[in-house]
Amino acid sequence: TDLDYAKEMSFHEKAIESGLSAIREGRNIICDVSMVKAGINKKILSTFGGKVICFINDEDVIKKASQLNIARAILAMRKAAKLMDGAIISIGNAPTALFELCRIARSGKVRPALIIGIPVGFVGAVDSKKELISLGIPYITNSGTKGGSSVAAAITNALLKLAKDTPLR
């Protein structure tokens, strides 16, 4: 148990409402890495009609990342861009994925319902979370270097459970 999270978490005022609406509308959840995807409760999500999507291990993403010498997480977010409108994006590992998502969102081409941005690490994690907060899109994040795939999946699962267990108003 890490009680520091209680002090570090940051929620956009419409984060929960927007996330629950997206789930109940059958929107998809897009992840940065396979570990986030593996941790999300697909059974609950499927009852609403949504799917969990992650492109990090797609052959075309791997090949192009190698050719261009850039992170797969960047290309995975680019590939997912056409699916982002109204979706929940759950990022738990790669600050590069969150930076790219912020770049795509700033372009005005997509508007996710909610961004869960909890990348972990000392390189880029803090700055990517600050950029997320500045977007004006509903978010759930934390300050500092903590985060990770299991945290992103846990936040996503908490929303799924709320959507399942909370009656509509």
Q: Give the CA diameter of the chain.
A: 50
Coil, strand or helix: which one is 11?
strand
Instruction: Tell me phi and psi for residue 160, to 5 degrees.
Output: -60, -45
Q: What is the pTM of this model?
A: 0.94
Q: What are the tens digits of pLDDT across the range 31-57?
A: 999 999 999 999 999 999 999 999 999
What local confidence, expressed as pLDDT, does residue 84 receive?
Answer: 96
Q: What are the tens digits of pLDDT across the range 14-30?
A: 999 999 999 999 999 99
pLDDT tier for residue 122 given thresholds of 50, 70 and 90: confident
Instruction: Tell me phi and psi for residue 94, to 5 degrees.
Output: -105, 110
Q: What are the tens digits of pLDDT across the range 123-133?
A: 888 899 999 99
Contact call for residues 40 and 23 (beta carbons, < 8 A): no
**How far is the C-alpha of 78 from the C-alpha of 98, rounded, in Å?**
11
Find all residues with CB under 8 Å of 63, minimum gap 6, and list them: none
| Sequence-ordered strand ranges (E) for 25-165 | 29-31, 52-53, 88-91, 114-117, 139-142
